[in-house]
Amino acid sequence: MTEYIFNDTPVYKLSRTDDPETSRDAAGEVSSGKMLALVYSEVVKAGDNGITTKEIRAIHPHLPYSSITARPTQLEADGKIYYLGDRRERCRVIRATEEI
């Protein structure tokens, strides 16, 4: 498997144009690459059974809700995860496209 590089999201994508300057500054401090890596690693660990964002949040209760739930969209766009359409506890089950 090739190594997946988790690049940080550009700052302009992390805040709205009408946000206060302090919010834009805070967005610049976020390391979305670390959150992508964390979510992706949990998906890979889950194997064929898959995992939901709710289950990932239970593993990492100290992290904000949006830090977990926002990442699958980027991972799916990058082709790293997929959905078969099944659900657990009303959440979509996420699976990795390839194993590490």
Q: Are the C-beta atoms of residues 45 and 96 closer than 8 Å to each other?
A: no
At 89, the amino acid letter reads E
pLDDT at 98: 79
What class has domain 11-96?
mainly alpha
CA 94 from chain center: how many Å?
A: 11
In the prediction, which pLDDT does 67 show?
87
The identity of residue 54, as a single letter, is K
Q: Where are the alpha helices (DSSP H) in 47-89?
A: 53-59, 65-69, 71-77
The band of 1, judged by pLDDT with boundaries at 50, 70 and 90, is very low
The predicted model scores a pTM of 0.71
pLDDT at site 30: 54
* Cβ 44 vs Cβ 100: under 8 Å: yes
Lowest mean pLDDT among 6-20, 39-53, 72-86: 6-20
Q: What distance in Å separates the CA atoms of residue 97 and residue 84, rounded to the nearest whole number?
A: 11
Domain boundaries of the chain, sorted by first residue? 11-96
